[in-house]
Amino acid sequence: MMIFQIMATRIPLGISRSSNGCSTDPRLSGSGYEKCMQCGRCTASCPAAYTFDDYIPRSVMSRLALGMGDSLAEAVWRCGQCYSCRARCPRNNSVGEAVLALRERFGAEGRVPDTIKSVRSLLLNNLHSRGETFLPQMLTDKLLREFGPATYSRCAGNIEKRARLGYEKEDARACRIPDDAMEEIRHILTATGCSDTDDQK
Protein backbone atom coordinates (compact mmCIF):
# COMPACT_ATOMS: atom_id res chain seq x y z
CA MET A 1 0.00 0.00 0.00
CA MET A 2 2.86 2.34 0.83
CA ILE A 3 4.36 1.79 -2.63
CA PHE A 4 0.98 2.51 -4.17
CA GLN A 5 0.73 5.83 -2.30
CA ILE A 6 4.25 6.83 -3.26
CA MET A 7 3.61 6.12 -6.92
CA ALA A 8 0.36 8.07 -6.85
CA THR A 9 2.28 11.17 -5.80
CA ARG A 10 2.84 13.75 -8.52
CA ILE A 11 6.32 14.37 -9.94
CA PRO A 12 8.79 13.69 -7.12
CA LEU A 13 11.11 16.39 -5.81
CA GLY A 14 13.74 17.49 -8.30
CA ILE A 15 12.41 15.38 -11.15
CA SER A 16 11.08 17.03 -14.26
CA ARG A 17 9.76 16.00 -17.66
CA SER A 18 12.98 17.17 -19.26
CA SER A 19 14.82 14.30 -17.61
CA ASN A 20 12.84 11.94 -19.86
CA GLY A 21 14.48 13.43 -22.94
CA CYS A 22 11.35 14.30 -24.95
CA SER A 23 9.83 17.03 -22.80
CA THR A 24 8.62 19.10 -25.76
CA ASP A 25 6.66 16.25 -27.34
CA PRO A 26 2.96 16.89 -26.62
CA ARG A 27 2.31 13.15 -26.67
CA LEU A 28 4.40 12.76 -23.53
CA SER A 29 2.43 15.21 -21.41
CA GLY A 30 -0.77 14.08 -23.18
CA SER A 31 -0.12 10.51 -22.03
CA GLY A 32 -1.02 11.60 -18.51
CA TYR A 33 1.87 9.86 -16.77
CA GLU A 34 1.93 12.59 -14.14
CA LYS A 35 -1.53 11.63 -12.93
CA CYS A 36 -1.02 7.86 -13.11
CA MET A 37 -2.07 6.18 -9.86
CA GLN A 38 -0.44 2.83 -10.65
CA CYS A 39 -3.67 0.87 -10.58
CA GLY A 40 -2.43 -1.51 -13.28
CA ARG A 41 -5.55 -1.63 -15.45
CA CYS A 42 -3.44 -0.76 -18.49
CA THR A 43 -1.19 -3.75 -17.84
CA ALA A 44 -4.16 -6.06 -17.31
CA SER A 45 -5.63 -5.10 -20.69
CA CYS A 46 -2.40 -4.95 -22.70
CA PRO A 47 -1.78 -7.71 -25.27
CA ALA A 48 1.93 -6.85 -25.37
CA ALA A 49 2.21 -7.33 -21.59
CA TYR A 50 0.53 -10.70 -22.02
CA THR A 51 2.99 -11.63 -24.74
CA PHE A 52 6.25 -10.25 -23.34
CA ASP A 53 7.43 -10.79 -19.78
CA ASP A 54 9.59 -7.66 -19.91
CA TYR A 55 6.85 -5.20 -20.93
CA ILE A 56 4.71 -3.63 -18.19
CA PRO A 57 2.67 -0.55 -19.22
CA ARG A 58 2.16 0.52 -15.61
CA SER A 59 5.96 0.63 -15.23
CA VAL A 60 6.30 2.81 -18.34
CA MET A 61 4.25 5.43 -16.50
CA SER A 62 6.06 5.07 -13.17
CA ARG A 63 9.48 5.32 -14.81
CA LEU A 64 8.43 8.45 -16.65
CA ALA A 65 7.16 9.94 -13.38
CA LEU A 66 10.54 9.18 -11.83
CA GLY A 67 12.42 10.74 -14.76
CA MET A 68 13.70 7.31 -15.84
CA GLY A 69 12.39 7.36 -19.42
CA ASP A 70 15.90 6.58 -20.65
CA SER A 71 15.63 3.07 -19.20
CA LEU A 72 12.76 2.25 -21.60
CA ALA A 73 14.85 2.13 -24.80
CA GLU A 74 14.33 -1.63 -25.20
CA ALA A 75 10.81 -2.00 -23.83
CA VAL A 76 8.97 0.62 -25.90
CA TRP A 77 9.21 -1.48 -29.07
CA ARG A 78 6.95 -4.11 -27.51
CA CYS A 79 3.82 -1.91 -27.65
CA GLY A 80 1.43 -2.72 -30.49
CA GLN A 81 -0.42 0.64 -30.41
CA CYS A 82 -3.83 -0.95 -29.83
CA TYR A 83 -4.83 1.65 -27.16
CA SER A 84 -6.58 -0.82 -24.89
CA CYS A 85 -4.69 0.96 -22.10
CA ARG A 86 -6.31 4.26 -23.06
CA ALA A 87 -9.79 2.74 -23.14
CA ARG A 88 -9.43 1.20 -19.68
CA CYS A 89 -7.50 3.82 -17.74
CA PRO A 90 -9.68 5.41 -15.02
CA ARG A 91 -7.68 8.64 -15.47
CA ASN A 92 -7.85 8.74 -19.27
CA ASN A 93 -4.11 8.19 -19.55
CA SER A 94 -2.50 6.58 -22.56
CA VAL A 95 0.63 4.49 -22.30
CA GLY A 96 0.52 4.13 -26.08
CA GLU A 97 0.96 7.90 -26.50
CA ALA A 98 3.94 7.95 -24.14
CA VAL A 99 5.44 5.08 -26.10
CA LEU A 100 5.13 7.03 -29.37
CA ALA A 101 7.00 10.01 -27.91
CA LEU A 102 9.73 7.77 -26.53
CA ARG A 103 10.10 5.85 -29.78
CA GLU A 104 10.60 9.05 -31.69
CA ARG A 105 13.23 10.15 -29.23
CA PHE A 106 15.10 6.83 -29.31
CA GLY A 107 14.83 6.73 -33.11
CA ALA A 108 16.39 10.22 -33.37
CA GLU A 109 19.18 9.03 -31.07
CA GLY A 110 19.83 5.96 -33.23
CA ARG A 111 18.72 3.61 -30.47
CA VAL A 112 16.43 1.36 -32.49
CA PRO A 113 17.16 -2.37 -31.93
CA ASP A 114 18.37 -4.30 -34.99
CA THR A 115 15.38 -6.65 -34.75
CA ILE A 116 12.97 -3.72 -35.07
CA LYS A 117 14.92 -2.30 -38.02
CA SER A 118 14.82 -5.58 -39.87
CA VAL A 119 11.09 -6.10 -39.19
CA ARG A 120 10.43 -2.56 -40.44
CA SER A 121 12.39 -3.25 -43.59
CA LEU A 122 10.45 -6.47 -44.20
CA LEU A 123 7.11 -4.74 -43.63
CA LEU A 124 7.95 -1.93 -46.07
CA ASN A 125 9.07 -4.44 -48.64
CA ASN A 126 5.88 -6.45 -48.30
CA LEU A 127 3.69 -3.37 -48.43
CA HIS A 128 5.31 -2.18 -51.64
CA SER A 129 5.33 -5.55 -53.33
CA ARG A 130 2.02 -7.06 -52.16
CA GLY A 131 0.13 -4.45 -50.12
CA GLU A 132 0.43 -6.59 -47.01
CA THR A 133 2.40 -6.22 -43.83
CA PHE A 134 3.13 -9.70 -42.50
CA LEU A 135 3.30 -12.62 -44.88
CA PRO A 136 2.90 -16.07 -43.35
CA GLN A 137 6.41 -17.20 -44.28
CA MET A 138 7.90 -14.25 -42.36
CA LEU A 139 6.92 -15.86 -39.10
CA THR A 140 9.99 -18.03 -38.93
CA ASP A 141 10.91 -20.02 -35.89
CA LYS A 142 13.62 -17.44 -35.04
CA LEU A 143 11.32 -14.43 -35.33
CA LEU A 144 8.55 -16.09 -33.33
CA ARG A 145 10.98 -16.79 -30.51
CA GLU A 146 11.98 -13.11 -30.48
CA PHE A 147 8.30 -12.22 -30.08
CA GLY A 148 8.20 -14.11 -26.80
CA PRO A 149 7.10 -17.52 -25.52
CA ALA A 150 3.35 -16.81 -25.68
CA THR A 151 3.56 -15.84 -29.37
CA TYR A 152 5.79 -18.80 -30.09
CA SER A 153 3.44 -21.33 -28.54
CA ARG A 154 0.46 -19.77 -30.34
CA CYS A 155 1.98 -19.37 -33.81
CA ALA A 156 4.66 -22.05 -34.22
CA GLY A 157 3.65 -24.34 -37.07
CA ASN A 158 1.25 -21.82 -38.60
CA ILE A 159 2.48 -22.40 -42.14
CA GLU A 160 1.73 -26.11 -41.87
CA LYS A 161 -1.67 -25.36 -40.36
CA ARG A 162 -2.45 -22.96 -43.21
CA ALA A 163 -1.38 -25.53 -45.78
CA ARG A 164 -3.72 -28.08 -44.22
CA LEU A 165 -6.56 -25.54 -44.62
CA GLY A 166 -5.66 -24.92 -48.27
CA TYR A 167 -4.05 -21.45 -47.92
CA GLU A 168 -0.90 -20.40 -49.78
CA LYS A 169 2.10 -19.66 -47.62
CA GLU A 170 3.17 -16.68 -49.81
CA ASP A 171 -0.04 -14.75 -49.31
CA ALA A 172 -1.99 -13.79 -46.20
CA ARG A 173 -5.13 -13.04 -48.23
CA ALA A 174 -7.53 -15.28 -50.05
CA CYS A 175 -7.08 -13.19 -53.24
CA ARG A 176 -4.44 -10.75 -54.49
CA ILE A 177 -4.88 -6.99 -54.46
CA PRO A 178 -5.67 -5.67 -58.01
CA ASP A 179 -2.80 -3.91 -59.81
CA ASP A 180 -4.48 -0.48 -59.90
CA ALA A 181 -5.10 -0.64 -56.13
CA MET A 182 -1.47 -1.65 -55.64
CA GLU A 183 -0.40 1.46 -57.55
CA GLU A 184 -2.46 3.59 -55.18
CA ILE A 185 -0.96 1.87 -52.15
CA ARG A 186 2.59 2.50 -53.44
CA HIS A 187 1.73 6.11 -54.11
CA ILE A 188 0.42 6.57 -50.55
CA LEU A 189 3.49 4.86 -49.08
CA THR A 190 5.90 7.03 -51.04
CA ALA A 191 3.96 10.24 -50.36
CA THR A 192 4.02 9.52 -46.62
CA GLY A 193 7.76 8.90 -46.56
CA CYS A 194 7.65 5.09 -46.52
CA SER A 195 9.90 4.27 -49.43
CA ASP A 196 10.72 0.59 -49.93
CA THR A 197 14.43 1.40 -49.72
CA ASP A 198 14.09 3.39 -46.54
CA ASP A 199 15.03 0.90 -43.86
CA GLN A 200 17.25 3.03 -41.67
CA LYS A 201 14.66 4.87 -39.59
Binding site for ligand SF4 (CB under 6 A): 36-42, 45-48, 57-58, 61, 79-85, 89-91, 93, 95-96, 99
176: left (phi over 0), alpha (psi -120 to 50) or beta: beta
189: left (phi over 0), alpha (psi -120 to 50) or beta: alpha
CB of 80 to ligand SF4, least distance (A): 4
* Length of the chain (residues): 201
CB of 95 to ligand SF4, least distance (A): 4
Distance CA 201, CA 116 (A): 10
CB of 101 to ligand SF4, least distance (A): 13
Nearer Cβ to ligand SF4, position 99 or 101? 99
Nearer Cβ to ligand SF4, position 83 or 152? 83
Distance CA 131, CA 158 (A): 21
Nearer Cβ to ligand SF4, position 20 or 84? 84
Nearer Cβ to ligand SF4, position 12 or 47? 47
CB of 31 to ligand SF4, least distance (A): 8
Nearest to 104 by CA among 2, 28, 168: 28
CB of 182 to ligand SF4, least distance (A): 30
Nearer Cβ to ligand SF4, position 83 or 167? 83
Nearer Cβ to ligand SF4, position 57 or 163? 57
